[in-house]
Amino acid sequence: MALILTQLSPSPSPSPSSPLPSLHLSPLSSRLNNLTMICSSNSQRTARTTLVPPLMLPKNRNLTSPVNLIRSQLRYPIISPDDHWGTWTALFATGAFGLWSEKTKIGSMVSAALVSTLVGLAASNIGIIPYEAPAYSIVLEFMLPLTVPLLLFRADLRSVIRSTGTLLFAFLLGSVATIVGTVVAFLVVPMRSLGQDNWKIAAALMGSYIGGSVNYIAISEALGVSPSVLAAGVAADNVICAFYFMSLFALASKIPPEASTSINDVAKDMESDSGGKLHVLQAATAIATSFLICKASTYLINLHGIQGGNLPAITATVVILATLFPTQFAYLAPAGDTIAMVLMQVFFAVVGASGSIWNVINTAPSIFMFALVQVSVHLAVILGLGKLFRLDLKLLLLASNANIGGPTTACGMATAKGWGSLVVPAILAGIFGIAIATFLGIGFGLTVLRHM
């Protein structure tokens, strides 16, 4: 300490009688000088306590109390963001729980996606897992794009048009009904409290109610929806879907099952593929193919400098390839469906974990009302157009299910109601919706909703 003071002093060696010229010292060196004089005195212990510089004491002495220490520890989750094994364990466990919940009465009503989202939301808000973690970025940047090709290995557009028949026409009417519902809902519930996110989330929900959740995320990423609004939209969407599916089953309660419950040959093949043993080579090839499609698509997007175009490009690429090489991609479809189902549940867990309950409470009511008006108008329009074109009610309800929920829920409804001949058309119609919804949502949002 004395050496430091000597170097800071302007004079080479001050006399013992003359005081150190403090005017030439910086505030830090003056504090060091005072501290040296205090430490050299062994008799004035009381003064030593009062003359300690402020830098040597905590600004808030209450932080050392046990209560404040406990409060400071609660600021951090049990599983820290740097605990990679713990974070991945929590995410996959949440996804597995969501899939298991569909075997229960409540879980089958609300869907695995909603359960995984709510469990992730609760776990992050009570301090079990973090709001942000490197694992979440990996899921959003890599695992989600990897899921898109796995979901669309059956997206042979020629097979869709050939096999769906009248159901495809009903599905297209439902897509028009969703667009009309989006415009009406945006006029009734403009969601102005969301700022510039209002038209973006409206476009994302429109894509979701033509295709599915993958389209919702793709449109949100392309348009730049904020994370809090994204999480609130997922929560509102899942709740709306749960009530909507119950309404569809209620409307179909008086429609009898088909006289013959035998499913056509294509459906039998799909059932045997999905219910049989998942071959290792098939699964490995499906994953490698999905990686290759993602690499090629993202390379082209980055080469042309298109922002937010990764998921739309991946979607377009896999649809083109599945149409050109239907046999090869249909062989990979069972493995792709299984892997994609698991990865999607992990994604929903991340969406929930990234959200704040307070933000969801403040944001979700307006989104919930918007989605409620949107699907209500959708149902009214599709039933009205169906009556105008004299379409069967069960085709309209199944097409609406494929619009709002996607191929999985449409297949489930056709199976549960005993409409065996419509199982495969429902799946293909839902896949067709996923293939087109992203482009419809982005285009309609930029050209119409943005200027309303």
CA distance 233 to 204: 9
- The tens digit of pLDDT for each residue in 377-433 reads 999 999 999 999 999 999 999 999 999 988 877 877 887 788 877 877 888 888 889
More confidently predicted of 83 and 105: 83
CA distance 449 to 411: 32
Q: Which amino acid makes up residue 309? A: G
What local confidence, expressed as pLDDT, does residue 242 receive? 73
Confidence of residue 360 (pLDDT cuts 50, 70, 90): low
Confidence of residue 359 (pLDDT cuts 50, 70, 90): low
- Mean of pLDDT over the chain: 78
- Who's near 200: CB < 8 A, 6+ residues apart? 219, 220, 223, 224, 225, 229, 445
Please tell me whether the overall predicted TM-score, pTM, comes out greater than 0.85 for this model.
Answer: no
What local confidence, expressed as pLDDT, does residue 206 receive? 96
Q: Contact 287/194 with Cβ under 8 angstroms?
A: no
End-to-end CA distance of the chain: 70
Over residues 219-234, mean pLDDT: 88
- The tens digit of pLDDT for each residue in 256-307 reads 887 654 444 444 444 444 444 558 899 999 999 999 999 999 999 888 877 7
* Tokens found for residue 214: 């993958």
